[in-house]
Amino acid sequence: MITTPRGVHDVLPQDAYKWQHVFDNAQNTARVFGYKQIRFPVFEDTALFTRSIGETTDIVEKEMYTFKDKGGRLLTLTPEGTASVARAYIQHNVQGMWKVFYTAPVFRYERPQSGRYRQHYQFGIEAIGSLDPALDVEVMSLAINFYKSLGLKNLYLSLNSIGCPDCRKKYKEYLVTTFEAQKENICPECQSRLYKNPMRLLDCKSQKCKEIVKGVDKISDYICDGCKEHFNKVKFYLEKMNIPYKMDPFIVRGLDYYTKTVFEVISESLGAQNTLCGGGRYDGLIKELGGKEIPAVGFGAGIERVILVMEEEKVEILKKDMTDIFIVTIGENVYENAVEALYELRSAGISAEMAYDKKSVKTQFKAADNLNAKYCLVIGEDEIKKGVYILKNMTDGTQEEVNKNNILSQLS
């Protein structure tokens, strides 16, 4: 038997309504904040990601699904959405401010566990074209409102500024010197990335590295006046909007394109994979990809993790896919009337079902119950003779006769 590859999952009909609910809320929150939908391809030129995300990141070094197509092109399944949006901005010669959102599949060859998969979905938003700190806060507040609209509770916004390339240069030099002095105490992976990407050591999960990190200077001690001013304004607006945040001086994020503000939304209802959303500014990316010098900010929010939290916090989700009418037939000779009525109802936009294969009346009512049908339209031989059907309200059990030739006008 062939089953799904490791780390990827089906979403079956009994769960898909939760996904639809999350996507609907994502789309609606994006609309309220003025973001328009973008859809980009599932694969892109590999170079797009190596240049955007950074050669020495885990994603590029270990996690990309890269392959050659039959024409010999080197392609990669999207390991994140920001690079594709930046590419689209440049390729389509967009001018000025561009605010877009996406709900897209993302592929990373990671070690699967609860909340971490090899294909996951992201609700992402990208606001390209302004350096205003109020825009950083718009993006963060959009994320918070999205989670609030879903009824999630135990979460908080974690915030940091990682400065611009200038201030980061000094900080990186400091980190290299500090870690070099204790090189034998850091994990082998960090030893090898120390010179290439020293900031990655700050969020290393190994206990040895964590101990050393506790004692190092924070990036906030190194950021320049411009970055400091920007960050102060971000905090000011967050406070003004009553959006609580916790400073985390060691959030660095796993992608190299970030500048200044970085943030994550953390759920206290999840264990290890508790980052619901991650984002920040990426003021250098459009230029890096061959465009003009255009600042931008955005986030990506994992859909699977949101659903895990909703299940954990027992958030009720209304099932919208109820059947309006289930047709129940009594007697062999009415079957054709039922097929006809079924088509008539559906053509009028009413969701209608019947049990095929001429099942027993009991089985038909059971099927109606399983589908949570609001009404049953009972078609029996006696009724046909009288030119009526019986409409049974499945919530209160009441029933009434409806004219066979005029069902639609009698349904209110």
Q: Which residues bind ligand HAM (CB under 6 A)?
A: 80-82, 108, 110, 115-117, 120, 122, 124, 126, 254-255, 275-280, 282, 298-302, 304-305
Q: What is the residue type of 107?
A: F
Helices 303-312, 13-32: axis angle to 10 degrees equals 110
User: What angle, 0 to 180 degrees and rounded to 10, lies between the N-to-C axes of helices 82-91 and 46-53?
Assistant: 110
Give whichever of 259 and 364 is closer to ligand HAM, judged by the CB atom: 259
Instruction: Name the DSSP letter for residue 221.
Output: G
CB of 83 to ligand HAM, least distance (A): 8
Minimum separation from the CB atom of position 226 to ligand HAM (A): 21
For ligand HAM, which is the closer residue by CB, 45 or 180? Answer: 45
In the bound state with ligand HAM, the residue whose beta carbon lies nearer, of 277 and 402, is 277
The residue sitting closest to ligand HAM, measured at its beta carbon, is 302
Name the nearest CA neighbour of 279 among 309, 250, 295, 301: 301
Instruction: Using CB atoms within 10 Å of the CB of residue 198, give its burial: 0 to 12 exposed, 13 to 18 middle, 19+ buried.
Output: buried
Nearer to ligand HAM by Cβ, of 81 and 198: the residue is 81
> What count of Cα atoms within 13 Å lies in the side-chain half-sphere of residue 347?
8
Q: Least distance (Å) from ligand HAM to the CB of residue 235?
A: 19
Q: CA 24, CA 138: separation in Å to the nearest integer? A: 20
Q: Which CB atom, from 197 or from 329, has the smaller least distance to ligand HAM? A: 197
Edge-to-edge strands, sheet with 155-161: 36-37, 98-107, 119-128, 296-302, 275-281, 259-267, 155-161, 245-247
- Residue 375 beta carbon to ligand HAM: minimum distance, rounded to whole angstroms: 41
Q: Which two tokens stand for residue 208?
A: 């040895």
Closest to ligand HAM by CB, 168 or 392: 168
CB of 212 or CB of 303, closer to ligand HAM: 303
Adjacency order of strands within the sheet including 388-393: 352-354, 325-330, 375-380, 388-393, 399-403
If 0-12 CB within 10 Å is exposed, 13-18 middle and 19+ buried, where does residue 318 land? exposed
- Rounded to a whole number of angstroms, the minimum distance from the CB of residue 338 to ligand HAM is 46
Q: Residue 78 CB, nearest distance to ligand HAM (Å)?
A: 10
Closest approach of ligand HAM to the CB of residue 220, in Å: 21
